[in-house]
Amino acid sequence: MLGDVMAVFSPDPPLTGADLERASERTRRLSVAEGATWAVMCGFGDAYLAPFALFLKAGNHAMAFLGTAPLVVGALAQLAGASLSERTGRERTGRRKPLLVLTTAAHALGYLLLFWAPFLFRAHAVEALLVVGAVLAWLASFGTPAWTSWMGDLVAPERRGRYFALRNVVVMLTMVVAMLAAAAMLSAGRARGWIWAGFGGLFTVAAIARGTSSWLFARHHEPPLTPSPGSYFSFWDYLRRAPRSNFAKFSFAVAMMNGAVNTAGPFFTVYMLRDLHWTYFQFTVSTVVFLVAQSVVYRWWGAICDRHGARSVMKATSVILPVLPLLWAFITSYPALLVAQALSGCTWAGFNLASTNFIYDAVTPQKRARIVGYHGLLNAFFTLIGGNVIGATLAEVVPASFAIGPVHVTLLSSLPAVFVASSLLRILAAAIMLPRFREVREVERVGTLALLRRFGRGEPVVSAGMELIHRLPLLGRIFSSRPAPPPPKRGA
């Protein structure tokens, strides 16, 4: 056991040629498994933070804080993690494995504290939850720059879209199973009057899953990383370069969009459980629909990113993003909102995958960890403004009933007005920033409307269905005997 621990802190032996490729391939597979354990943690832990807060009687401002403040804490953690990953190890050679192994182990213990702190301090249960939630956010984000830098070294540029799409599919499907199991556990506890025990069971499973992630990280191969002398630059330097830096323009575009999204983001769970009176089971099904939709289209978006570039995907999905909160503002039917969740999952799968791939494409390995930290801090700032300033203020001051001329409008609460505001801000963010940055790779050009037509015709679903068919031995033989369809026209 002691030998295994010491091995984590010792640099991996240098490898070349076939040995390096075998070690890298093994690590890529381990990373998929680690993603699955992370998904179990999220399905049993993160997904039920907001319901736990509502169970503890948290108000709108507390919910806004829970949804946005951890992002700011996480961004500061990323900056600290980026600096540490550049400085650990002998002769200031960057080591990333020890950082990730230790922080994920501490993150696992944090989930036990998440339950016991509010349980032991019931008079201040909400405050205890918010404090522990911030600690969890720090531990979850501290290793993100190191992980991003590490995986960028292990996955070749020409296969990043497909690899991370495959990894995300495994993550999403695992999260679906985890959330369904978590919902069953919580429902069983609620039926017996043991809802405290139900949440305790959820967070215990989350802790075990995160501990398994730490064990898997210890078995990853880590290529050496030596930061170059010119790779350091301050956050102020990063902001100063914004008018000239293509990546800084991209970072501001993503940050502004995330700020607009999180104007409404912290309040969707509140709206579902408090205003629409959904059960925990209905809430879980809604989240599962969102995750399944993402898993269905990830591979398609990954192929589009590899062929047409990340910017094309971001532009296309940004046309749909402003529509999503409007559906929640004007629709209350549960089946219709499940359809909205499916559309949301399909859209966010593309935007998030493209944003991640753009970072890998645009940033050199030596600067990647620090850039991820600065990018996260910028996103956190806009998210804090969107959620805690704009969203929370609107949720408190906008009346649920008002008159527009002779028309009297009565809403379930003030939250539909927050959703409309989020839609308008998303339009503004996309219109201002997306035209300002360029694609960094040589890719085949495609028009935004052409890509949206392909998306609207159901090409991602058809592509996923055909892939599934070809993976089934009998149907695969039947379909493979047919002539292949002609390739799509350039730019279609």
Over the stretch 174-209, which tens digit does the pLDDT of each residue have?
988 998 899 888 888 888 888 888 888 999 999 999
Res 370: pLDDT:
77
Summary count for the chain: helices (H), strands (E): 22, 2
Does residue 479 register a pLDDT over 50? no
* CATH class (in words) of the domain with range 21-219+236-400+407-446: mainly alpha
* Spatial separation of the C-alpha atoms in residues 398 and 235, rounded to whole Å: 37
More confident residue, 230 or 314: 314
More confident residue, 281 or 450: 450
Show the tokens assigned to 111: 């989930």
* Spatial separation of the C-alpha atoms in residues 291 and 344, rounded to whole Å: 10
Percent of all residues in the chain with a pLDDT value above 70, rounded to a whole number: 87
Q: In 3D, which of 129, 287, 269 has the Cα closest to residue 203?
A: 129
Res 7: pLDDT:
55
What pTM value is reported for the model? 0.72
Rounded to an integer, the average pLDDT of 443-447 is 88
Rounded to an integer, the average pLDDT of 78-82 is 79
* Spatial separation of the C-alpha atoms in residues 128 and 106, rounded to whole Å: 18
Res 106: pLDDT:
94
Check if the beta carbon of residue 170 is closer than 8 Å to that of residue 35: yes
More confident residue, 7 or 414: 414
- List, for residues 8-58, the tens digit of each pLDDT value: 555 566 666 677 778 888 888 999 999 999 999 999 998 888 888 888 888
- List, for residues 333-386, the tens digit of each pLDDT value: 999 999 999 999 999 999 999 998 898 888 877 777 778 878 888 888 898 888
DSSP per residue, 115-168? HHHHHH-GGGHHHHHHHHHHHHHHHHHHTHHHHHHHHHHHS-GGGHHHHHHHHH
- List, for residues 145-166, the tens digit of each pLDDT value: 888 878 877 887 777 777 888 8
Res 176: pLDDT:
87
Rounded to an integer, the average pLDDT of 391-407 is 80
* Spatial separation of the C-alpha atoms in residues 309 and 306, rounded to whole Å: 6
**Range picked from 184-193, 403-412, 423-432, 442-451 for highest mean pLDDT:** 423-432
Q: How buried is 14 (Cβ within 10 angstroms: 0-12 exposed, 13-18 middle, 19+ buried)? A: exposed
